[in-house]
Amino acid sequence: MNKSIITDMDASDPLAKKRADFEIPAGKIYLNGNSLGPLTRAARARAQETIDQQWGQDLNASWNRHHWIDLPLTTGAKIAALMGAAPSQVVCCDSVSINLFKLLSCALQLQSDRSMVLSQRDNFPTDLYIVEGLSHLLGSSHCSLRLEDAGSLEPALDSRPAVLLLSQVNFRSAELHDISRLTQLAHENGTLVIWDLSHSVGVLPLELDKWQVDFAVGCGYKYLNGGPGAPAFLYVADRHLANISQPLSGWMGHRAPFDFQPSYDACDGIDQFLCGTPPIISMSVLDSALEVFSDVSLAQLRAKSVQLGELFLSLLGQNDSLAELQLQSPENGANRGSQLAFAHPSAYAISQALSAAGVVADFRSPDLLRFGFSPLFLSFADVWESIQILVAILADERYKDPAFKQRLKVT
Amino acid sequence: MNKSIITDMDASDPLAKKRADFEIPAGKIYLNGNSLGPLTRAARARAQETIDQQWGQDLNASWNRHHWIDLPLTTGAKIAALMGAAPSQVVCCDSVSINLFKLLSCALQLQSDRSMVLSQRDNFPTDLYIVEGLSHLLGSSHCSLRLEDAGSLEPALDSRPAVLLLSQVNFRSAELHDISRLTQLAHENGTLVIWDLSHSVGVLPLELDKWQVDFAVGCGYKYLNGGPGAPAFLYVADRHLANISQPLSGWMGHRAPFDFQPSYDACDGIDQFLCGTPPIISMSVLDSALEVFSDVSLAQLRAKSVQLGELFLSLLGQNDSLAELQLQSPENGANRGSQLAFAHPSAYAISQALSAAGVVADFRSPDLLRFGFSPLFLSFADVWESIQILVAILADERYKDPAFKQRLKVT
């Protein structure tokens, strides 16, 4: 494959124009949007407006004048639109971990005769830690955790768990679960599902309502580009909203918070999942970052994401680098999310060498290199350039030389 | 009292220079810093640096390069310095409500033979809602709530509650509890204390370590000027840290979060109270806002805060307005926090008329006007001016006229 083919791919890419919405640092190829999405122009402008005008000038009047009080729901509705969910079922608040605690409590409440949470051994760890925390609080007879490898999850549903808790995209390998199929199998066993969509939302087409998902959580700072530690979100299917009460019952989930009544009276809707006062600056930034999705479809994003990954793999193959970099992700793009992981004994050094050469990838202990493909701002030329740099680094093993980084800066 | 005395008070005020650190809107007298502290110059600059350089240019490398990963502890240490607390006992994270849930769980864990939480009927409601939420989750035999009026709290300690949960400053009246005395009385009854310091920190001298407080929470957006919905903080006395485990065990509280181990292994220190990924932009803004405290003492702040309140009351008295505005706060400045509350049947209309005239005060349902005195940016002349406006509004009852706000804008 030569560079002119790449140029043609970019020229015919309907998403190519979206890169102008982002502030990608000059000279960097950012293959880490799966860890922290980059700054958008909209987010920079909204942060300034929120700080200078809304907070600085209008002060506490902004809770109403600039609709701060509605932000968890309005931002939630924008996220719902990316997940095939009616807007009344998604709210933006807190962190993934805290939201998962709320949803786990609710799911166990609905399953009064069951207590076991089934999850995957290499699920993202915070999800497992939160089950542990709830189990410790309630006692193992009310909440216990069973861990299985990916291939053993379906048979384990026979043991009739209360909850099946999974991430759609494995955070290391990007291997995909079939949400529709596993949700249906779970329901056939009387099991409720909680999906962690942190590595999914904004890059994978989702149909939460159609798939009859019960609950979901996800973060705002990966493919949603909401900024470091952006607030998270949660989804609860409408059919459950009337039958649950979540334990983190702070005043923002009260039906009339400004009546200051001593007794809690939860909102009816998804706003019952609010707790304390939301971090308005961080949430406004996330809200504005979602604007870049207004004129694109998830099908377009998914198609380009798969193309970017395929190109990366095929160029690596052409350069005979796939023997050295052991692919840890599914080979078939349809079976993985929007990243590729490779094992290499010098993964950390290579990630540092790449970074010094302007290619930002991620290292995951102990030996994984992870490359993320955000279709909103990456070009096919970016993939081409990053492969040239990666292959050069692998070829002469310069990354093993302590002086390497310095030399690269000079040349 | 004439205006020249006021001018002298401002001229000899050692804190007068601090106003230059703030961006108070032109033409406004802001008597609402007890609800939402105003923007500081440091916060505006830090927000821009965090967004443009750290996120925009350095991207995820900022977790180490710009110490995002340490921010909950470094910001916590700055707050500790304002509370008479060794820095190892305070961390910045989540919201007051969520932090209270963590601490309540821990306190009840330490009190295995007791389950009752004693609080005040007119404590800030979210504190009570969180006890309700935990009680609902654990069952009333593990957590129950007893509410008393302020005067009945001390005798109620005889019933040996597990936890005494109070706000130092009443959110309506500003009436102060004596933390030292109540903590000692609680301990004599084997009761642990949790203090909500949301209306205290940054304006009242605190000695948490000396007073042997067990636990405390507080918010970042009032007198700390951390911005709307700024992250909150929590305090845990060193002596308890080794004996507790909090249920919101997210990955940021793990001893080695980036080892991605499936089992939770909590940090030893106050960082065990971290949960999910912190909202870095909002937390950075709070962190920078704390710089204004670096060259002032809490004793200075308290002295001026009391003087501002005394001046407000004495000017109101001179103008015979105290018959119409019924003081709901303690008359003696030593017995109240940094706000004054008055009952008036038209409190809402008066607050709107004040706002139209540039005086920002707070209305609290059903009939309270609340004036906050932030000693870092208010002058004695501000108090003088606000009284002239308030007295004029009361005198001709213009606030009852629907056209009032419009007229005020014209004149």
Catalytic residue selected from A22, A30, A221, A371? A221
Q: What is the pLDDT of residue B404?
A: 56
Q: What is the pLDDT of residue B396?
A: 74
pLDDT digits (tens, 9 = 90+) for B133-188: 999 999 999 999 999 999 999 999 999 999 999 999 999 999 999 999 999 999 99
Q: What is the pTM of this model?
A: 0.96
Asked if pLDDT for residue B403 goes beyond 90, the answer is no
pLDDT digits (tens, 9 = 90+) for A298-344: 999 999 999 999 999 999 999 888 889 999 999 999 999 999 999 99
Please check whether residue B239 lies inside any domain of the structure.
Answer: yes
| Tokens of residue A103, six digits | 């949803």
B contacts of A132 (beta carbons < 8 Å): 249, 263-264
**Arithmetic mean of pLDDT over chain A:** 95
Q: Which of B293, B322, B337 is the last residue of a domain?
A: B293
pLDDT digits (tens, 9 = 90+) for B201-232: 999 999 999 999 999 999 999 999 999 999 99
Strand order in B368-372's β-sheet? B326-327, B339-343, B368-372, B362-364
CATH of the domain at A388: 3.90.1150.10
A contacts of B362 (beta carbons < 8 Å): 60
Q: What single letter denotes the amino acid at residue A40?
A: T
Strand order in A326-327's β-sheet? A326-327, A339-343, A368-372, A362-364
Please check whether residue B310 lies inside any domain of the structure.
Answer: yes
pLDDT digits (tens, 9 = 90+) for A149-183: 999 999 999 999 999 999 999 999 999 999 999 99
Q: Is the CB of residue A209 less than 8 Å from the CB of residue A85?
A: yes
Select the residue of B228, B249, B365 nearest A132 (Cβ to Cβ): B249
Are residues B244 and B140 both part of a single domain? yes
| Tokens of residue B310, six digits | 């005394």
Q: Identify the helix (H) or strand (E) that includes residue B2.
A: none
**How buried is residue B259: exposed, middle or buried, by Cβ count under 10 Å (0-12/13-18/19+)?**
exposed
Instruction: Tell me the catalytic residues of B.
Output: 124, 196, 221-222, 370
CATH of the domain at A190: 3.40.640.10
Please check whether residue B37 lies inside any domain of the structure.
Answer: no
* Residue to substitute from A103, A217, A251, A288, interface B, most B β-carbons within 10 A: A251
* Residue to substitute from B34, B70, B109, B126, interface A, most A β-carbons within 10 A: B126
Asked if pLDDT for residue B406 goes beyond 70, the answer is no
Strand B339-343 to B215-218 pairing: unpaired
Please check whether residue B148 lies inside any domain of the structure.
Answer: yes
Please check whether residue A312 lies inside any domain of the structure.
Answer: yes
Q: Identify the CA nearest to A171 among candidates A130, A214, A222, A213.
A: A222
Q: Which of B228, B261, B293 is the last residue of a domain?
A: B293
The full DSSP string for A180-241 is HHHHHHHHHTT-EEEEE-TTTTTTS---TTTTT--EEEE-SSSTT---TT---EEEE-HHHH
Residue B131 pLDDT level (bands cut at 50, 70, 90): very high
Please check whether residue B8 lies inside any domain of the structure.
Answer: yes
Are residues A279 and A242 both part of a single domain? yes
Select the residue of B54, B56, B227 nearest A23 (Cβ to Cβ): B56
Are residues B253 and B179 both part of a single domain? yes
Indicate if A10 belongs to the active site. no
Contact A55 B227 (CB under 8 A): yes
- The sign of the CA dihedral B311, B314, B320, B322 is positive
A contacts of B365 (beta carbons < 8 Å): 258-260
Are residues A351 and A285 both part of a single domain? no
Among chain B residues, CA nearest to A58: B25
Q: What is the pLDDT of residue B321?
A: 84
Q: Is the CB of residue A382 less than 8 Å from the CB of residue A38?
A: no
Enumerate the β-bridge partners of residue A118. A146, A164
| Tokens of residue B388, six digits | 């002239």
Name the residue range of residue B220's domain: 45-293
Are residues B281 and B310 both part of a single domain? no
Among chain A residues, CA nearest to B139: A138
Q: Is the CB of residue A131 less than 8 Å from the CB of residue A125?
A: no
Q: What is the pLDDT of residue A398?
A: 66
User: Diameter of chain A by CA atoms?
Assistant: 70
Q: Is the CB of residue A242 less than 8 Å from the CB of residue A267?
A: no
Domain count, chain B: 2
